[in-house]
Structure 1
């Protein structure tokens, strides 16, 4: 009996030794034969399918550590692999947040808009609307460029204040609306002043008059009121003389 036991043990030892030798030989080859034959035996933790709970945890932890690429990867996998999981809605929200903190504002805006479309009655919609507005607000370049992003930001903030007036985010949105108005007022003032300097008095008057009507508080806060009144007075005087838009050559009699 003991001889039989020794024989079995001996064979196992020989088998193990042969396996080790085979692994050593295969790992030394130019081709990855070791991986080809033994991947099923030596799977790493990265290749094991993560559960929805684990992916959610991975994403949340990565967000806390400000590793937004890792967070985005986890939440995207959660969305794609487990669309009916109770964690899928969290992933949909956090994809937007991860893009936002990566300063990928266009991608974040798309994610937030999709969340609102899919979950219009969810309790976090006020937050999502605020974030959507901030995506457009932070995409702003300068007041001498197109102001579409600022207008889109103000639209999102207004949607928030109108639909959820008692939300804490509505208060924050009101402040952002005022900031948007100041941007738009600054842009309109610059355009109106350019028209004035080009002696396009009708266009300057139209632009600056509209500015006073649409953004009176912003004009006051920016300190433009006195200069606008002076420009408008001169525009009226020039128009009464029939000077609007005449070129230098016309004025010289050519």
Structure 2
């Protein structure tokens, strides 16, 4: 038993000595962290402060993107932007930051990053792809068709910009398909609004919306199968408005 107690005392004394050494090391300028790492590296972490090169960060980011670990990919590409803004990999990092946000469904952040890329590199060969992705950010951010469709309109403008500026791009056909989908969304929204006015017997307002709808989105209306119903609604609106003098007062009809 005395031997066992002596061994315990020796262990405690040794541990206290290490703690004192570590505390002394912290107090000494420039050597605290290395001594702490030497004595307690396994306890307090690796302490690896070696800065990664831009090549290593690119490799890490690309690997993480392939693994669909978009959070860590974003971190790697952000480091390139922040630490190596003049590196030959900086432009790639700017693009991949936007892509990582997009895959994380952070469409507002992705849109800002894509817009910044176009602003900084308007003649870069990947601009058609960036425009398509920017359009998709807005397209995927759009609200349901019974709500305001401003994001859909912005998406359509972006896709149209792509088709006009880059008619030879491989993304032109994809953009045209999305334009038609946008037009269908907008047509459906206007169709729903027209029906609301019609059911409320606000025939003048219904007629105005139907007329605008047929003029703005004739192909979408046809594909959605709304044509016959809209024509019937329009005929009923005309019948009522003609009966009621186009909904105007007698003074207005007389020119006052």
| TM-score bucket (shorter structure) | 0.7 to 0.9
**CA distance 1:49–1:229, shift in 2 (3 Å):** same
**CA distance 1:130–1:27, shift in 2 (3 Å):** farther
Verify: 1:39 aligned to 2:41, yes or no: no
In 2, distance between residues paired with 1:108 and 1:149? 14
1:56 maps to what in 2?
58
* Deviation readout 1:204-235 (Å, 9 max, x if unpaired): 11111111111111001100000000000000
The equivalent position to 2:189 in structure 1, one of 162, 184, 187, is 187
In the TM superposition, what are the counterparts of 1:1-254 in structure 2 within 5 Å?
24-25=18-19, 38-40=32-34, 42=37, 44=46, 46-242=48-244
SS for the counterpart of 1:40 is helix
SS for the counterpart of 2:116 is helix
Alpha-carbon distance, 1:88 to partner: 0.4
**CA distance 1:121–1:218, shift in 2 (3 Å):** same
Tell me whether 89-98 or 139-148 shows the greater mean CA deviation: 139-148
Gaps of 5+ in 2: 1-13, 249-256
8 Å contact from structure 1 (residues 198, 245) kept in 2: no
SS for the counterpart of 1:134 is helix
How big is the alpha-carbon RMSD for the aligned residues of Structure 1 and Structure 2? Answer: 2.6
In 1, distance between residues paired with 2:160 and 2:181? 13
* Deviation readout 1:83-113 (Å, 9 max, x if unpaired): 1110000010001000000000010000000
Alpha-carbon distance, 1:203 to partner: 1.1
Alpha-carbon distance, 1:58 to partner: 1.2
SS for the counterpart of 1:47 is coil
In 1, distance between residues paired with 2:90 and 2:186? 38
SS for the counterpart of 1:48 is coil
8 Å contact from structure 2 (residues 22, 32) kept in 1: no
Gaps of 5+ in 1: 1-19, 247-254
In 1, distance between residues paired with 2:149 and 2:21? 61
Alpha-carbon distance, 1:40 to partner: 3.0
SS for the counterpart of 1:39 is helix
* Deviation readout 1:158-213 (Å, 9 max, x if unpaired): 11100101111011000000000000000000001111111111111111111111
In 1, distance between residues paired with 2:179 and 2:163? 10
Q: How many residues align?
A: 224
**CA distance 1:197–1:26, shift in 2 (3 Å):** farther
8 Å contact from structure 1 (residues 93, 111) kept in 2: yes
Alpha-carbon distance, 1:118 to partner: 0.2
TM-score by length of 2: 0.81
Give the structure, 1 or 2, with the largest relative contact order (CA under 8 Å, sep 6 or more). Answer: 1
**CA distance 1:22–1:244, shift in 2 (3 Å):** farther
